[in-house]
């Protein structure tokens, strides 16, 4: 028995001592965006359970504490923020925040595609997959002029897409993964 416990502890130590290699393989923690829906509840406080939508300004409103900034935060961070604010009214509140809709996580496809519009990003999606989801290119699309417009802190970035190279398999490096807020333009 001692050997099994010792072996398990050694494995754990090796995993933790790997300098974050395990964490690098895990997906990014989802951060709330305007338009997302969350269920906020406080244990043993039935009147403090609400499904709320993250407003365009990045906040939600919750009983007793009012407006809370949540955009850009993960659910554990929102739980901590609400817990801290509720301590004024409830001793030792236990807050749970559950994402019930990710409508704020959208990319947009515009231009000469069969069904332009928005796509909810509920997992990794590439340019080619997005084009497929909107029905493909129409016959007048400029395959050489496709680009992704991505918002950055200091403005916008234009990412060219070489559609012919992607579909031929020559070079798929421009088949980039879309992020929330991206706009795929097909002239």
pTM of the model: 0.72
pLDDT tens, position by position, 15-63? 444 343 333 444 678 999 999 999 999 999 999 999 999 999 999 999 9
In angstroms, the CA 68 to CA 86 distance is 11
Q: What mean pLDDT value characterizes the chain?
A: 87
Contact between residue 100 and residue 38 where contact means Cβ atoms under 8 Å apart: yes
129 and 107 in contact (C-beta within 8 Å)? Answer: no
Structure confidence at residue 153 (pLDDT): 86
Q: What is the pLDDT of residue 47?
A: 94
**138 falls in which pLDDT band (50, 70, 90)?**
very high
Give the pLDDT of residue 27: 60
Sheet strands (E) in the chain: 37-42, 45-53, 59-62, 66-69, 95-101, 106-111, 117-120, 147-152, 155-160, 183-186
Give yes or no for a contact between 113 and 183, defined as CB atoms under 8 angstroms apart. Answer: no
> Which pair of tokens denotes residue 80?
């901590």
Q: Which domains does the chain have, with CATH numbers?
A: 37-101 (3.30.1950.10), 106-186 (3.10.560.10)
């Amino acid at each position: 028995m001692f050997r099994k416990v010792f072996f398990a502890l050694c494995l754990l130590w090796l995993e933790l001592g790997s300098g974050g290699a395990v964490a690098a393989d895990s997906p990014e923690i989802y951060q709330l965006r305007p338009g997302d829906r969350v269920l906020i509840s406080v244990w043993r406080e039935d009147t403090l359970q609400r499904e709320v939508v993250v407003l365009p300004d990045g906040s939600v409103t919750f009983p007793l504490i009012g407006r809370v900034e949540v955009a850009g935060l993960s659910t554990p961070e929102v739980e901590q923020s609400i817990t801290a604010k509720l301590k004024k009214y409830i001793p030792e509140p236990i807050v749970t925040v559950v994402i019930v809709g990710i409508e704020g996580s959208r990319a947009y496809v515009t231009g000469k595609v069969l069904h332009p519009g928005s796509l909810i990003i509920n997992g990794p999606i590439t340019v080619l997959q997005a084009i497929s989801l909107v029905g493909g290119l129409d016959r007048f699309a400029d395959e050489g002029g496709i680009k992704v417009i991505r918002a950055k802190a200091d403005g916008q970035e234009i990412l060219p897409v070489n559609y012919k190279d992607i579909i031929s398999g020559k070079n798929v490096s421009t088949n980039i993964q879309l992020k929330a807020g991206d706009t795929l333009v097909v002239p």
